[in-house]
Amino acid sequence: MTVRIKFRKFGVLKFIGHLDVMRYFQKAIRRAGIDVKYSMGFSPHQLMSFAAPLGVGLLSDGEYFDLEVNSLTSSEDMKKRLNECMVEGMEILSVKLLDEKAGNAMASVQAASYTVRFYEEKLPVFSLKDAVKRLMDKDKIPVVKTTKKSTVEMDLREGIYELSADDDKKEVTMLVNASSSGNIKPNFVIKELYHEMGEVLGDFDIIITRNETYTGTLNNFVPLDFEATLF
Amino acid sequence: MNKLALSDEILLTIEKPARYIGNEVNSVKKDLSQVDVRFCMCFPDVYEIGMSHLGIQILYDMFNRFDDVWCERVYSPWVDLDAVMREKKIPLFALESQDPVKDFDFLGITIQYEMCYTNILQILDLSQIPLMACERTEEHPIVIGGGPCTYNPEPLADFFDLFYIGEGETDYRALLDLYKEYKAKGWSRKEFLLKAAQIPSIYVPSLYRVEYKEDGTIATFSPINENVPTTVKKGLVPEMDNTTYPMKPVVPYIKVTQDRVVLEIQRGCIRGCRFCQAGQIYRPVRERSAVLLKDYAKQMLTNTGHEEISLSSLSSSDYTELPELLDYLIEECNEKKINISLPSLRIDAFSLDVMSKVQDVKKSSLTFAPEAGSQRMRDVINKGLTKEVILQGAKEAFEGGWNKVKLYFMLGLPTEKEEDIRAIAELANDIAALYYDTIPKEKRNGKIQIVVSTSFFIPKPFTALQWASQNTKEDFIEKAYLTKKSVMEQLNQKSIKYNWHEADVSVMEGVFARGDRKIGKVIKRAYDMGCLYDAWGEYYKNDLWLQAFEEEGIDIGFYTTRERDLDEIFPWDFIDCGVTKEFLKREWKKAMNGEVSPNCKEKCQGCGAMRFETGICIKA
């Protein structure tokens, strides 16, 4: 049996990287006494799979991982037990049972939504709304993406599904591709907004929060645990 | 929301920001209005090293059990953050509250190895606390040192207000109460220190005067006030079952060196190896009962969620209830999928059986620490391990499927001759040959892999070899070369890999280990010139150290190679660690004659630890 667990990462926990978040949960699951399933062998490990790694510095209200378990109590009980051993900065939002036919968390991820805010002393000097309009009017936004192995040219525009801004709140929200093949980092989009207005985004100007992680298809994206059920 | 001392921009620019944010599972937060004393506990090395240290976890837990005390932690900022903090003048802060260390009542620094001394100055410097104790006022925290290096605290005497000598569980409460009185009654810092000196285990360096002879050795070492004791007696926990132990150790986010539950099964060691300081200063051996340890293991695993547990002691094989404890742990851990990591057990049928149950034999290696190659040399250091025992253990291990062996030796031991060094390579060769003789070709799991490692012998205070002359750097290098050459001459040399420790740093460690107060100014100068993280090979700057000694006019050889007179007053003689100087002298003479001494279980040698009336001393 597999449960899909949704959690929120906030506060100082944004400084904890993905691998350490995995280690954190492995220990938390032991503390909570969850009847987790282990692999075989001399160093058994928990059968756990995370959806979309979150970079250091980012906050999130919509993180997911799958956990294989031997037995279930109830969604509420498991959530409560896990929350009792969280630190400030981690909160379990839900524990749901995954359909046996469902794909694993990582492979299911297709899109993610983000809200981008600015440090007070780093607010943009132009209208974000205008910048969004200009960017979205383009057919193509060629950018160079550097990976560990190579640099590839890609079109940012086709991966931006929704983009909007609020000049009063000084916020940008977006829905972008988060699949393994076409993942878009939100700071890339903001960089392009600045570029559009002849400005340069600094390295430490913005605070990014992932709001939700989605599966499904374009125009029909649903949260990653949409088909999982409370028990 | 938790506040942070460092900005997002700094935290996102440096390596591993998790080192500096606190907020870990089981870290303790208290309401400031409810506490009287704020204690900041420091391990002067990087977070991953400091967080792996059991002693700090014990004291952190003990202090936080006191309602009127809040104990927090601080570690050395890594070199990247160090530069930022200096540039931006950010004061060093404690992890839990993120408040500046300089606002605390106490800064306690554990001193675990000599090569962290410049990191201590870094901690004080970044905290914006005067480096010299004599420059501190009532506004500054009381800086107190503890840990094994305080058995010779003299090189650090200028930098500390107090040292706590011995096991921290015994006398801190008295010190904290005295501190509260000092604050309530508005005493001066000097008055407080004078009264603190009267608490057992507490050494106040500024209250002692040292006079030197013309040859540089100590003429007199005496208190400057009649109320200050002439000797400082170490603190010792009389009953291990009757002391505090951290049931909820802090669980770090990032991977640290010791990322597991640590069960301290006993303190002290029965084997009087003559080079080993720990074997003397923690006497007498005191065991924790297995019943208690089983309960601790269970609670600590539940409270941390760690996936591994390890036993801690100087010699686990000597723990009397080991079979019972291990049976329990193996069963419990197997069920909960928890790994057991075994500290270097003596290799015999029992330990091999246990190891085969908890490790993958094909991947794990056996560790022997003969410490010296020849039997004569092992007798000098009283290492009660014979070639027959090593070969017997190895044979059984090979039959059990092991084929990786690690061997640890020391070079530069007193009376060492060329043949003793050659014997290291010969022993390694004999073990390799034994493998090929024992295991038929078709049953071999590849070649045998032997790794020989040597470190250089450094005489330490409170050991029988504290009178010994240490080798020069050139001697060390020559001996390492001879070891390498001898290994290459062996029939099975292809199965033997040889590693050796850096010679430069061993010389420096030797100076600090047996140093006196005159060394303090060298440490300060080296720090001012940029020495930091000396325990980290890539940051150790030997040239600067040599320059610092030169500029302060201090002769390194005086502390290392010099032959010491049997009646010389050592800088650490004012400490009473239980083991008497008379006993150590007897052992030194026996060492020079190659005579062995039986261990505490076999026959009491009258070392002096009997005065504690506990542990092995009253068991027999």
**CATH number for A54:** 3.30.70.580
Residue B306 CB burial class (10 angstroms; 0-12, 13-18, ≥19): buried
Nearest to B2 among A11, A24, A30 (CB): A11
If asked whether residues A89 and A126 sit together in one domain, one would say no
If asked whether residues A193 and A206 sit together in one domain, one would say yes
Expressed in angstroms, the distance from the first to the final Cα of chain A is: 12
Give the pLDDT band of residue B67 (cuts 50, 70, 90).
Answer: very high
A87 DSSP assignment: P
Going from the C-alpha of B167 to that of each of A108, B151, B426, the distances in angstroms are 56, 11, 41
Contact B1 A15 (CB under 8 A): no
If asked whether residues A79 and A120 sit together in one domain, one would say no
In chain B, ranges of CATH 3.40.50.280 domains: 8-233
- Beta carbons within 8 Å of B469's beta carbon, 6+ residues apart: B414, B459, B560, B561, B562, B563, B564
Question: What SS3 state is found at B343?
Answer: coil
If asked whether residues A184 and A199 sit together in one domain, one would say yes
If asked whether residues A147 and A97 sit together in one domain, one would say no
Between CA B551 and CA B523 the distance in angstroms is 12
If asked whether residues A66 and A159 sit together in one domain, one would say no
ipTM score over 0.85, yes or no: yes
Is B423 within 8 Å of B386 (Cβ atoms)? Answer: no
Is A48 within 8 Å of A25 (Cβ atoms)? Answer: yes
Residue A102 lies in a domain: yes
**Domain B8-233, CATH:** 3.40.50.280
Going from the C-alpha of A177 to that of each of A112, A113, A215, the distances in angstroms are 6, 9, 10
Is B17 within 8 Å of B11 (Cβ atoms)? Answer: yes
A40 DSSP assignment: S
Residue A227 lies in a domain: no
pLDDT at A167 over 90: yes
Determine the residue among B24, B28, B255, B307 to mutate to test chain A binding: the one whose Cβ has the most chain A Cβ atoms within 10 Å: B307
If asked whether residues A132 and A62 sit together in one domain, one would say no
Between CA B617 and CA B566 the distance in angstroms is 28
CA distance to partner chain A, nearest, from residue B248 (Å): 11
Contact B302 A31 (CB under 8 A): yes
Contact A27 B18 (CB under 8 A): no
Contact A16 B18 (CB under 8 A): yes
Final residue belonging to a domain, choices A73, A107, A141: A107
- DSSP string of B535-603, one letter each residue: TSGGG--HHHHHHHHHHHT--HHHHTTPPPPTTPBPTTTTEE-SS-HHHHHHHHHHHHTT-----TTT-
Token pair for B396: 């059984």
Residue A198 lies in a domain: yes
pLDDT at A144 over 90: no
Q: How many domains does chain A have?
A: 2
CA distance to partner chain A, nearest, from residue B304 (Å): 6
DSSP-assigned beta bridge partners for residue A8: A91
pLDDT in tens, A92-135: 999 999 998 888 899 999 999 999 999 999 999 999 999 999 99
Query: Taking CB atoms and an 8 Å cutoff, what residues of chain B touch A26?
Result: 305, 307
Contact A20 B8 (CB under 8 A): no
Q: What is the mean pLDDT of residues B532-549?
A: 97
Contact A20 B25 (CB under 8 A): no
The per-residue pLDDT for B364 is 82
Q: Any chain A CB within 8 A of the CB of B3?
A: no
The per-residue pLDDT for A109 is 95
pLDDT in tens, B545-604: 999 999 999 999 999 999 999 999 999 999 999 999 999 999 999 999 999 999 999 999
Final residue belonging to a domain, choices A56, A84, A107: A107
If asked whether residues A43 and A117 sit together in one domain, one would say no
Determine the residue among B253, B330, B356 to mutate to test chain A binding: the one whose Cβ has the most chain A Cβ atoms within 10 Å: B253
A229 DSSP assignment: B
Question: What SS3 state is found at B523?
Answer: helix
Angle CA B226–B227–B230, to nearest 5 = 75
3-state secondary structure B410-462: EECCCCCCHHHHHHHHHHHHHHHHHHHHHCCHHHCCCCCEEEEEEEECCCCCC
Residue A231 lies in a domain: no
pLDDT in tens, A43-65: 789 999 999 999 999 999 999 99
Final residue belonging to a domain, choices A107, A131, A158: A107
If asked whether residues A120 and A211 sit together in one domain, one would say yes
The per-residue pLDDT for B95 is 98
Between CA B170 and CA B541 the distance in angstroms is 39
Q: Any chain A CB within 8 A of the CB of B362?
A: no
Between CA A106 and CA B257 the distance in angstroms is 30
- Beta carbons within 8 Å of B172's beta carbon, 6+ residues apart: B59, B62, B63, B164
CA distance to partner chain B, nearest, from residue A219 (Å): 35
pLDDT in tens, B102-159: 999 999 999 999 999 999 999 999 999 999 999 999 999 999 999 999 999 999 999 9
If asked whether residues A10 and A39 sit together in one domain, one would say yes
pLDDT at B1 over 60: no
Query: Taking CB atoms and an 8 Å cutoff, what residues of chain A touch B11?
Result: 15
If asked whether residues A10 and A96 sit together in one domain, one would say yes
- Beta carbons within 8 Å of A148's beta carbon, 6+ residues apart: none
Segment holding B287, helix H or strand E: strand B286-287
Residue A228 lies in a domain: no
Residue range of the domain that includes A50: 2-107
If asked whether residues A120 and A78 sit together in one domain, one would say no
The per-residue pLDDT for B620 is 57
3-state secondary structure B204-221: CHHHEEEEECCCCCEEEE
pLDDT in tens, B399-457: 988 999 999 999 999 999 999 999 999 999 999 999 999 999 888 888 899 999 999 99
pTM over 0.90: yes
Q: What is the mean pLDDT of residues B384-406?
A: 91
Contact B25 A42 (CB under 8 A): no
Maximum alpha-carbon separation in chain A? 59
CA distance to partner chain B, nearest, from residue A221 (Å): 32
Q: What is the mean pLDDT of residues B498-516?
A: 96
